[in-house]
Structure 1
Amino acid sequence: MSVEHDHSHHEHEHHGGHAGHEHHRPGKVSWGMAASATLHCLTGCAIGEVLGMVIGTALGWGNLATIVLAVALAFVFGYTLTMRGVLRAGVGFKQALKVALAADTVSIIVMEIIDNGVMLVVPGAMEAGLASWLFWGALAFALFVAFLLTTPVNKWLIGRGAGHAVVHAYHH
């Protein structure tokens, strides 16, 4: 009986489109679902963030230029990871981009503000070289704090049918 219930729920999600998201009610989103969405976001952000920090630091760029590069790459990799799954579901590129923008923009913004803010307040982290434990430790800590503080944001967004909830229709 539960399999039939789950199957009909998935059909409702798939055929429901993006409009109502009636199946995502406030309070119905688990912390696990929010953490999973945040982990997905963190993966793309971390790839872009680390790459940007490594490139900027290796080239001797200042904090602002390094952070701008890291943030830009975090958005590129975050959106790319979401689009990859949506494209696999047979959606065209333009629609997949729209889904990625709707799904990840707020989460990535929050995550980037937090992790770059942490990097800026850890004394010497931005000036430490790539061979420094301070640089890598601060970056890992910054991403961890960003994950913790972005998870409730994603829980709230998903509960309202926004954020990562827009991707759910393409996961089946």
Structure 2
Amino acid sequence: MSVQHQHEHHDHHDGQHEHRASGHAEHGGAHSATWGSAASATLHCLTGCAIGEVLGMVIGTWLGLHPVATIALAIALAFFFGYALSMRGVMRAGVGFRQALKVALAADTISITVMEIVDNGVMVVVPGAMSAGLASVLFWGALAFAFLVAFVVTVPVNKWLIGKGRGHAVAHAYHH
């Protein structure tokens, strides 16, 4: 048994088990939030968002939907896939569907919301990006740039949330 695992095991039996949001708990209930843990949480969030967003943009553009309808579809699918990826990890730890959904909602809602506001905002302000079409370098370049900007903006948000024991700190407890 590793030293850290023995310490956690001892804490649990003494009724003093701490919630370890980012792998290290500080005294006073605050959680350690490094830039690395924030970047990792944001990358995890971005993965689900990107899957949903690309799928929504492709479907909306392919169907010739109005840009507002395309963005709405992309946002809905981004939230769906973002939550689904979080739930998958939590359910692997033996948690039931309803509890996994609650954890995913607590872990990802703020992060996904910030990410969606930023990346869709970028897509709207890049001239011609929304109407460029799927075969256009402008469309895909603007989308990649939008994801990059959303990542950069969301990392500090996730760092703050993790430091407060919220956001991805909630789901991290189930990944050990």
Q: For residues 111-142 of structure 1, give each alpha carbon's deviation from its aligned partner in whole angstroms, at most 9, with x where no partner exists.
A: 00000000000000000010000000000000
The aligned runs of 1:19-168 (5 Å cut-off) are: 23=25, 25=30, 28-168=32-172
Larger Cα-atom Rg: 2
Normalising by structure 1, we get a TM-score of: 0.90
Gaps of 5+ in 1: none
Query: How many percent of aligned residue pairs carry the same amino acid?
Result: 71
The secondary structure found in structure 1 opposite 2:122 is helix
Cα offset, 1:7, TM superposition: 5.1
- Relative distance call for 1:116 and 1:11 in structure 2 (3 A) is farther
Partner residue in 1 for 2:175: 171
Q: How many pairs are equivalent?
A: 167
Partners of 2:49 and 2:78 within 8 A in 1:
yes
- Relative distance call for 1:133 and 1:10 in structure 2 (3 A) is farther
Cα offset, 1:9, TM superposition: 4.6
Structure number with higher relative contact order (C-alpha < 8 Å, ≥ 6 residues apart): 1
Q: In the aligned structure 1, how far is the partner of 2:169 from the partner of 2:121?
A: 27
Q: In the aligned structure 2, how far is the partner of 1:80 from the partner of 1:118?
A: 25
Partners of 2:19 and 2:25 within 8 A in 1:
no
Gaps of 5+ in 2: none
Partners of 2:123 and 2:130 within 8 A in 1:
yes
Cα offset, 1:160, TM superposition: 0.2
- The residue type equivalent to 1:53 in the other structure is M
Normalising by structure 2, we get a TM-score of: 0.88
**1:5 and 2:4 aligned:** yes
Q: For residues 50-88 of structure 1, give each alpha carbon's deviation from its aligned partner in whole angstroms, at most 9, with x where no partner exists.
A: 000000001111111000000000000000000001001
